[in-house]
Amino acid sequence: MRVIVLSGYGINCEDETLHAFEVVGFRGSIVHINDLILNPKQLDNYQVFAIPGGFSFGDDTGSGNAMAKKIMINLYDQLLNFISKDKLMIGICNGCQILINLGIIPEANTKEPEVALIENNTGSYECRWVDVKVNNKSSPWLRNITTLHLPVAHQEGKFMIPNNINNNYIGLQYINNNKWLAKGKFPYNPNGSLNDIAALTNKYGNVLAMMPHPERALYHYHEPNWQNDIFKKYGDGYKIFVNAKNYFK
């Protein structure tokens, strides 16, 4: 099992993301966007494509927008070919924003409703831990998971979606301390996302675009309440990466 992790121009979570995949058994490579453009055929050597978090191109033209344009011009067809096969793709935080700007989520080259990510309702950068529940349990990334405790760190994380979007595209939703939907209430929903959306998938679930950071909740000691169970080894983010491994077993 091999994973390719994208890097370049402000992406800054590539090392942590690759480490998370390696912990569960993947071999992988961090590849600069320019090197991938020069040799897109190398995608054939990988089963998973990961776009990590960060601030690609400084978010100067909107979060993830410039990188999405660079990918659209140079690699769009290759990425569509990649996800049409029995492979997985994940975009985390800035990677999520890139996938949304590419139009790969919820579906590329279809008449499905458009989705956007806009500034948080607070108007500020939100860095905090949140709880989310799994909605699309058929996604390979989310199978056998009920809830997750993960960190978010973004300023443009509010999902705007049409009323007629297929509910199966909703991967994760923010919940409150009672495990009920947050109903837009801050801080349980940190950005005001419609329908409390924290992640979306494509039709088949093999592409996951999520705003929370699973790679930052890989080990139990990453969690703010780690001292409550010092014998626990992994955090909830570990479950996402284990699911990717199990998909290819």
Q: Which residues are catalytic?
A: 93, 213, 215, 223
Q: Which of 234, 248, 232 is nearest to 25 (CA)?
A: 248
Q: Residue 19: enclosing H or E segment and its boundaries? A: helix 14-23
Question: CB atoms < 10 A from the CB of 233, how many?
Answer: 10
Asked if 89 contacts 49 with a C-beta cutoff of 8 angstroms, the reply is yes
Burial 124-149 (b: 16+ CB within 10 A, else e): eebeebbbbbbbbeebbbbbebeebb
Go through 178-208 and write b for each residue having 16 or more CB atoms within 10 A of its CB, e for each that does not: eeebbebeeebbbbbbebbbbbbbbeebbbb
Q: Which two tokens stand for residue 135?
A: 């909605």
- 187 vs 243: CA distance, rounded Å: 28
174 and 130 in contact (C-beta within 8 Å)? Answer: yes
Q: Are 110 and 80 in contact (CB under 8 A)?
A: no
| 3-state SS assignment for residue 227 | helix
Exposure of 194 in the CB half-sphere (CA atoms within 13 A): 12
